[in-house]
Amino acid sequence: MPASILPFSPVGLIVLSIFVIGWAMDKFKPALMMMSLVAVIGIYYFILGMVSSCIDNNLLEAAAIMSNPNLGVDQWMLNAMMVGIGGSLTVVGSSAGVMVMSIDKSYTFATHLRFLPAVLANFLGSFGFWYLQFEILHWA
């Protein structure tokens, strides 16, 4: 087994966490069905945005598009915001961040973490504005 997919490697932990989330969502399906559909979809995209901070968001978005989901404009907007902004939470979550690290050797993972509070506020704020616009005010 290659070292990059062992359970204690970052990639292995991501894969393991995806399996655990899938198992939990299947196990607790009745409880999730009691929640409103909007809450479940919002939680899903919120988690997708967090995962996007660990792996390249282009791959994550391509997987979402290839699954050909039947979503409205509001859900596609939420998807794009959460994956796009979530990819900026860490420097390795976006192709641009990886490119900057390869060009400028002084820009490191720790350097990028200085911006985490601002990016996290943007991530949570955009989710809040989406919820306000589409779920409370019903502006389409």
18-77 per-position pLDDT tens digit? 666 666 656 655 554 544 555 666 777 888 888 878 777 777 777 777 777 788 888 888
Q: Which residues contact 47 (CB under 8 A, 6 or more apart)?
A: 21
Query: With 60 as the cut, is the pLDDT of residue 1 above it?
Result: no
Record the pTM: 0.64
Residue 106 pLDDT level (bands cut at 50, 70, 90): very high
The pLDDT of residue 5 is 47
Q: How many CA atoms lie within 13 A of 35 on its CB side?
A: 13
